[in-house]
């Protein structure tokens, strides 16, 4: 077991809200982000620069970025899929871009509207331009643990994509559909480490109740960063297949009791989750808010 | 990482149904147990022999035991707290008894109506009589990871109880209120191993989303058995603090994808969970039934 610290990347405002049916007003998004920053979160994936027709939940990305608290040490990321998204990200003043390449051809074409080859080429162009503008660049390999269309995704396939996309400051592997288990985390970590020395970040959903075990395993293996969303939002509670991100507060509970320092205040994170829960008007998947911190 | 197999103890009929508000008729309990056995579960904690006034959900323990399928290799356990319970267990024909001793004085007096010293003495008497009748004996240390009244429970305290209760065929440590994390599992495993060579079993609730990570850690540390309930029942979905057992199907998904052989059929376990979900009339906490097995 490793006792190193780990960075929490708060993705509730982006991946969380993007997958909720309710379209949250800009002011409420900003209040959620303010609460997260007040809780001590220092890295927030705040927005996505995709076409508003495809993801109406993120149509106000520029407005959100114009209003978030700019505090030394707090970095905001925006998700981008293409150069048009990068243009918007640069104009909106994000600190870093998260560039997504999907591991499988079918999912890439359906989700991003481009082939994997085109996505890899796009990554190179975006990374170069983003770096030129002084922004950090994350490569996210989506569907890195499995694809809804093509099934199993081998760690070798993920590693091959990482190899083809040099220049990222960080490699994130995303279990987009929540199918991975800790043994998969071990395999993909080993495979990616063979082709890249960049810090590793993981993005887990708790779709099949393996998300927290996956996160713990990633931390044990020395992952530099873990994604989570305050409230565990992102899986509509009334949808047939709830697929929220792992929840920041439940992850913090586990990490803090394991002796991991995160610099994040658990009670304040619960307040941020309560804020977005009230706004969404439905119970969030996170459990700590209901069960209570312990010992009291 | 360990690749050894692990025994799943199905506790849905006992710990699951005991904590549901709905009182399930005997025939439906038996149908649930039949479905579990058909799925390949070979060890089922089927009933509890506590006073019906305290736990009306288990008042029909004798009737349940009279009707469960008796198949070679399938063992049924009953929970007992005192000699009166043991008398009933012996008459009802269980294969093993699960004797509970609570780790803290306050919880012991409130929950079992006796001091820890009396519970320890009671364990000795019950174990001797049960062994004399050819039954297996499990010692469960309840509140082994924390107490709702006294707070933190040290691993040394758990180990001390185990030391004071020799004669168990198996030691189960129960996270009764769902507060433990994997680091706690490591600590309590190490402490108990210093005082006992009996096989270790763990009982986790997923109250704060750490239950599956705890189970995986216990398996990695060589635990012989893990408790779970098909459907993850036991925490009323509409209660403010849902505290179900970890779900058999979600645990199986993680274990099977990790290369662990359990001999249990996942699809048939999902059917058993669906059966009890329909009977309870509310969505169960288990996620695999909603998300779907994968790859399809």
- A51 in Cβ contact with A61 (< 8 Å): no
- Residue B210 touches partner A, C-beta closer than 8 Å: yes
Candidate from B146, B212, B243 with C-beta closest to A210: B212
Asked whether this complex has an ipTM greater than 0.90, the answer is yes
Q: What is the mean pLDDT of chain B?
A: 95
Which is it for the CA torsion A239, A243, A249, A254, positive or negative? positive
Preferred mutation among A152, A154, A178, A209 to probe B, highest tally of B CBs within 10 A:
A209
Determine phi and psi for B178, rounding to 5 degrees: 65, 50
Q: What is the pLDDT of residue B21?
A: 87
Judge: B254–A186 Cβ closer than 8 Å, yes or no: no
Residue A88: which domain range? 7-291
Judge: A295–B182 Cβ closer than 8 Å, yes or no: no
- B179 domain residue, yes or no: yes
Q: What is the pLDDT of residue B1?
A: 46
- Residue B238 touches partner A, C-beta closer than 8 Å: no
Chain A's closest residue to B249, CA to CA, is A208
Q: What is the pLDDT of residue B4?
A: 77
Candidate from B1, B182, B295 with C-beta closest to A216: B182
- Residue B152 touches partner A, C-beta closer than 8 Å: yes
Which residues of chain A have a CB within 8 Å of the CB of B213?
212-213, 215-216, 254
Q: What is the pLDDT of residue A243?
A: 74
Angle at A229 between CA B179 and CA A241, to 5 degrees: 85
The ranges of chain B with pLDDT < 50 are: 1-2, 237-240
Q: Which domain CATH number covers A246? A: 3.20.20.70
Buried b or exposed e, range A62-94, using 16+ CB within 10 angstroms: bebbebbeeeeebebbbbbbbeebbebbbebeb
How buried is residue A256: exposed, middle or buried, by Cβ count under 10 Å (0-12/13-18/19+)?
Answer: middle
- A121 domain residue, yes or no: yes
The ranges of chain A with pLDDT < 70 are: 1-3, 236-242
Preferred mutation among A266, A287, A289 to probe B, highest tally of B CBs within 10 A:
A287
Question: What's the domain count of chain A?
Answer: 1
- A1 domain residue, yes or no: no
* DSSP assignment string, A199-262: PEEEE-B-TTS-HHHHHHHHHHTT-SEEEEBTT--SS-TTSSS--PBPBHHHHHHHHHHTT---
Chain B's closest residue to A287, CA to CA, is B208
Rounded distance, CA B58 to CA A77, Å? 54
- A2 domain residue, yes or no: no
Judge: B182–A240 Cβ closer than 8 Å, yes or no: no
Which residues of chain B have a CB within 8 Å of the CB of A151?
295-296
pLDDT tens for A109-153 read 998 899 999 999 999 999 999 999 999 999 999 999 999 999 999
Is B236 an annotated catalytic residue? yes
Q: Mark which residues 116-145 of B lie under 8 Å from A by CB.
A: none
- A104 domain residue, yes or no: yes
- B98 domain residue, yes or no: yes
Judge: B209–A247 Cβ closer than 8 Å, yes or no: yes
């Amino acid at each position: 077991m490793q006792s190193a610290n780990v960075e929490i990347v708060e993705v509730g405002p982006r991946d969380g809200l993007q997958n909720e049916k309710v379209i949250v007003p800009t002011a409420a998004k900003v209040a959620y982000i303010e609460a997260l920053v007040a809780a001590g979160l220092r890295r927030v994936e705040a927005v996505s620069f995709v076409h508003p027709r495809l993801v109406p939940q993120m149509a106000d990305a520029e407005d959100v970025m114009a209003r978030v608290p700019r505090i030394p040490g707090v970095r905001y990321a925006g998700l981008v899929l293409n150069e048009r998204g990068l243009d918007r990200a640069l104009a909106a003043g994000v600190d870093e871009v998260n560039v997504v390449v999907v591991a499988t051809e079918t999912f890439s074409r359906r989700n991003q509207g481009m082939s994997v080859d085109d996505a890899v080429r796009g990554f190179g162009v975006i990374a170069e331009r983003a770096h030129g503008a002084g922004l950090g660049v994350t490569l996210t390999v989506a569907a890195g643990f499995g694809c809804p269309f093509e099934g199993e995704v081998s760690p070798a396939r993920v590693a091959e994509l990482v190899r083809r996309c040099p220049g990222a400051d960080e490699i994130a592997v995303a279990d987009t559909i929540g199918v991975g288990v800790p043994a998969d985390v071990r395999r993909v970590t080993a495979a990616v480490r063979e082709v890249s020395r960049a810090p590793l970040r993981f993005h887990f959903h708790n779709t099949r109740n393996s998300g927290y075990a996956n996160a713990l395993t990633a931390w044990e293996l020395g992952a530099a960063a873990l994604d989570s969303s305050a409230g565990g939002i992102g899986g509509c509670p009334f949808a047939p297949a709830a697929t929220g991100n792992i929840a920041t507060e439940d992850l913090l509970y586990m990490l803090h009791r394991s002796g991991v320092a995160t610099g994040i205040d658990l009670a304040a994170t619960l307040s941020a989750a309560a804020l977005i829960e009230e706004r969404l008007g439905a119970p969030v998947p996170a459990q700590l808010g209901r069960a209570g911190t312990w010992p009291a």
